[in-house]
Amino acid sequence: MAVTLADVAAAAGVSKSTASRVLSGSARISPQARRAVLAAAERLGYRANRIASGLRTRRSNLVGLIVTNLVNASFHVITSVVHQRLEELGYQVLLCITDADPARERRYLEALLDHRVDGLIIVGTGENTAVTREVEAAGIPVVNLIRSPEGAPGDAVMAGDHEGALLATRHLLELGHRRIGFIGGPASVDSGRDRYAGFAQAMAEHGLAPDPALVVRGPYEPPFGDQAVARLMTASSARPTALYSANHEATFGVLGALVRLGVRVPDELSLVCHEEAPFFAYWHPPITVVDNAPRDMGELAAEQLLRRIEKGEPGHPGTARSLRVGANLVVRHSTTTWSPPPP
């Protein structure tokens, strides 16, 4: 005999309406009741009739999460946080990885729209704002995470990229460095623009301008980091004495290239990397990083989306919010003071 909602409610010691609200994803339930209902449903093998429920409530209990990759350690943390937060409230997260391919991203957006997801969190390429507007027009709330393309609908949760770049570059300047290399992302992406702007501002504060020969910008890929380091450290002009790797995915290539080329950090080159990764604290030497608080971004993105879903508010112009999470510099042993060599 099929297990019914009444069976779950009785096993959990709650009313049928409370069990229904838990299993439909309502946030207005005590944590104790939620745990009891979900445990009872799992123990009894209860399977809700999602089709009938969706027709009745206009809810699918599905949420789309689109990210460009999982090489980025911040995206790993954000994905875990969003998944856990939404699952606790009865939602299932459909994770889509685009590899920064606009065509693939478009297919995912169209599929999520067809499945009538209850909401969407997207780290987008910026090439499909017309489709995200279709998603929003269908009454599906959208939260843009880390990147907020021009014309994109919905709320935005952004990192403190400009602030983090200021902290990183000021740190190197305060240590006496003046020839500072910069490896960044493309100017077409928020983080690429904002981190370079913070770098340039910190240099200007010291009466300096970025040396074009020391600035390399490219895709969010490890091979680019390898190529950028080879260019900076083997050029005929003077090497940088410090390097700010502001392109997180490229950083994995940066580290390998420095080892391959035998560059001693920090004796020959001070190094700051943007965004934390689990092994950075255990690298030799431990790496100074800009921590962009991915856990906070994930929590905030989930909170914003849930607020829209519960209130039935797509992100219409005039109601959308843009929130920014601060950055923090974690100083370790990959940076040290620099002074000119004796004449």
pLDDT in tens, 13-40: 988 878 877 876 666 678 888 888 888 8
Hey, what CATH topology would domain 161-291 get? Rossmann fold (3.40.50)
Average pLDDT of the segment spanning 93-105: 96
Question: Measured between alpha carbons, how far is 232 from 227 in angstroms, rounded to an integer?
Answer: 9
What pLDDT, on a 0 to 100 scale, did the predictor assign at position 55? 37
- Average pLDDT over all residues of the chain: 90
Query: How do the domains of the chain map onto residue ranges?
Result: 5-55, 60-159+295-312, 161-291
Residues 231-244, mean pLDDT to the nearest whole number: 90
> Which amino acid would we find at residue 223?
P
pLDDT (mean) for 176-202:
96
Distance CA 207, CA 202 (A): 9
Is the pLDDT confidence value at 51 over 60? no
Q: Percentage of the chain with pLDDT > 90?
A: 69
Average pLDDT over residues 273-295: 96
Q: Is the dihedral of CA 50, 51, 54, 55 positive or negative?
A: negative
202-216 mean pLDDT: 96
315 has a pLDDT exceeding 90: no
Lowest mean pLDDT among 104-113, 143-152, 275-284: 143-152
pLDDT band at 5 (very low <50, low <70, confident <90, very high): confident
pLDDT for 125 beyond 60:
yes
Q: What is the mean pLDDT of residues 92-110?
A: 95
Which tokens belong to 256?
Answer: 């390998």
- Cβ 84 vs Cβ 286: under 8 Å: no
- pLDDT of residue 204 exceeding 70, the answer is yes
Give the domain 60-159+295-312 fold: Rossmann fold (3.40.50)
Please report the pLDDT score of residue 25 as a whole number: 63
Q: For residues 98 and 124, give the distance between their C-alpha atoms in angstroms, rounded to a whole number.
A: 9
Q: Once rounded to an integer, what is the mean pLDDT over residues 163-177?
A: 98
* Paired sense of beta strands 242-245 and 215-217, if any: unpaired
**pLDDT over 80 at 274, yes or no:** yes
Helix ranges (H only) for the chain are 5-12, 16-23, 31-44, 50-57, 73-88, 102-114, 129-137, 161-174, 190-205, 222-234, 248-260, 294-311
Band (pLDDT 50/70/90 cuts) for residue 150 is confident
Query: Do 161-291 and 60-159+295-312 have the same topology in CATH?
Result: yes
Per-residue pLDDT, 59: 73
Query: Could you name the CATH architecture of 5-55?
Result: Orthogonal Bundle (1.10)
Tokens of 152: 């994109």
Beta carbons of 100 and 131 less than 8 angstroms apart: no
Q: Give the pLDDT confidence score for residue 48 in this predicted structure.
A: 61
| pLDDT of 238 | 84
- pLDDT level of residue 56 (50, 70, 90 thresholds): very low
Pick 20 or 258 by higher pLDDT: 258
Q: Stretch 77-85: mean pLDDT, rounded?
A: 96
Is it the case that residue 57 has pLDDT exceeding 60? Answer: no
